[in-house]
Homo-oligomer: A and B are copies of this chain.
Amino acid sequence: MKTDPRQTLIAAARHFYQQGWMLGTAGNLSAKINDGSFWITASGRNKGQLNSGDFIRIAANGKVVEKPNCEVHPSAETSIHQVIYSLFPQAQACYHVHAIEANLVSRFTDEDTLTLPPLEMLKGLGVREENPKVAISLFANHLDVLRIAGDIRKRFQTVTPSVNVLLIRDHGLTAWASSTEEAFNYVEIADYIFRYMVAAWKISI
């Protein structure tokens, strides 16, 4: 991971915004640097037009270690990124977006996992099986984000997720990976699979 990932995060956020996944300032992206801290998007910024002043650097313990000026505040969901980096030391980037289809599929089941269809695209999430059966983890949404972060930590301490993507009901998806490029691909692939699922559900196939 190069020292400063902010230009990469700005480009990813602009692309995700244009796809409709970060509308109305929603969502947050982060990437780790060598010392274990991570840069994360500040709260309340238009994700289609970020600049390098719209980020805050957070230590592994959650403390703010660098911010460009006093007007920026860390995303309310920083605690989720912190939990992901803590659970999965190989993770170098963590992307959280609010795609509509992610919210729709989060209502397809009351269980805490959602079975994915056996699409070839699963290969892009690292699943290489004939007719794969993969399930993704679902978490309840809460006004108190620390509660969501706690639920994720608790479950993933005992259950290893089969893919590097999770869903928060009525809220959005979070993907993590060992590089920003891979995290970007995971978001695209997850959204693709959720759009397939919504369309397939409509036509009962």
Give the B-binding residues of A (Cβ under 8 A).
20, 23-26, 46, 98, 100-101, 103-104, 107-108, 117-121, 124, 128-130, 141-144, 168, 170-172, 181, 185-186, 188-189, 191-192, 195-196, 198-203, 205
Contacts and interface: CB of A to CB of B under 8 A. Distances in A.
A103 B193 CA distance: 11
A128 B143 contact: yes
A103 B116 CA distance: 14
A118 B171 CA distance: 9
Contact of A107 (B104, B128, B205): B205
Given A170-B118, A171-B120, A192-B23, A203 B201 contact: yes
Contacts of A143: 128-130
Contacts of A186: 24
